[in-house]
Structure 1
Amino acid sequence: MACSIATHTPLLVVRPPRRSSFPPSTCSLLVENPDRRGNYGKSPSGRKKISRECRAMVQQTEQGPSAAYAKEMERLSAKESLLLALFRSPYLEGRWNFEWFGSGSPGLFAAKFLFERFPQAVANLSKLDVVIKDGYANISASVKLLNSIESGFIISTRLTVEGPLRMKGEYIEGILEYPKFNEASIPQQLRGALDQAASTMQQLPVPIRDAVAGGLKVPLGGTFERLFMISYLDEEILIIRDTAGAPEVLRRLDPGPSQTAQL
């Protein structure tokens, strides 16, 4: 509500803008000049006569709910972009070797699966690596028996983004590979038994023989899963941490994307 104060200096009266959903609004600046006697003239309606009126555009400084929502979505999108950048990075794909892994690692799961079936006195873990490609990770563990018989177990894992900071690995399938023999290093006392097993294998029907040669598949869909995050990634090193913060350190085995481009 505009009011006038009888002074000898020009009076500035600001009318508040009408509420509107649009950002720009207008306000009226009413300047009243007194006459030489210091009196103000009045219009017939009873209101003081205005000698000069000007209008100015005023930009609203108060932001509505839609602006706050857009700002919050922009902030979340920036965080998710950082995570997706690691998940979709070309450095992530390739063959990696486990240098260090924790208790919840799928590599340890594969190693335990093998050692539960073979005595540790005659078996040693010869290889533990992972191949990451197109959102899937295949973890393979190999055990060598008596330095002559090698058997492996492969875990197929689906990788998905789980929240702004975490990723999830879901175990889909496990494959127990058919043992491979190195005839030159097989002890003499075991060669007779291995030759008999190989002969029996050849007498099996072709579908069964092919199934055994391809490995024994163990469905794991929905049975095991784990949450983790990528804390470091470059051309040679990958560091993963589980929900407890325990690290898993992997080293690249194949050439990285930049090395392949140089070749």
Structure 2
Amino acid sequence: MTMNRVASPNASTLTDRTIVIFGGTSGIGLAAAIQAKAAGAKVIVVRFNPEGAAKVAAENGLDGWRAADVTRAETVTTALADIPHVDHLVLLAGTFVAGRILEAEVEYLKRAFDERIWAAVHILRTIGDRLASDGSVTFISGALADRPSAQGTAVLAAASAAMEAFARGLALELAPVRVNTLSPGTTDTPLLARTLGAHRDAYVAALTEKLPQRRLGTATEAGAAVVFLMSNGFMNGETLHVDGGARLI
């Protein structure tokens, strides 16, 4: 891939920079989008559902939206076709894929990697030299990368850890483009509620008793970390943990 080598004097600010956020219509992605917009960026969010994407973009005063299934390269190509330039790319899309390897359907388990590693490949290849050389790419991993559970999350843990290794490799391969990973702890987002359903409150109560800060992280806090990774021009090849000290227990 040939990258754009024209550097911007405003590399450390988000003012007038174009940011594309996959998974930017809820939770951490939306929080990052709102904060980046407040910092002066032009923000485009991407979501699987076009109606939902349009609604969220309009409600939050964002600059645009696109619809794409990140597991299908052709929809990614269509979604990004008319965006001439990208300064910062944020890839937060991905569902909670859980299932024991001796029981779950293999095609279902593959989604953990399809929605993360292979989606990132499709997106980066599609953008190509439209990605600014003084810009950045931000991935998401998660606490499972460090501390997998016994509840059918082995494949998802592997995919999360793979994103961190992928980012380090790409920091060299795509240089001078910066590539980092956000690793949030358990965060109070709509995804958590969808994943746990009726068990959410009991899970949160038990977890917060163990956490050093006795609470979950917020989407706003994790979103601020995304903004930091985009705007700090010397953060590269790193995994930023925003977990309230959960890895210490």
**Structure 1-normalised TM-score?**
0.20
Structure richer in helix, relative to its length:
2
Flag the structure with more relative contact order, 1 or 2, with Cα contacts below 8 A and sequence separation at least 6. 2
| TM-score, normalised with respect to structure 2 | 0.21
Q: Which of the pair is proportionally richer in strand? A: 1
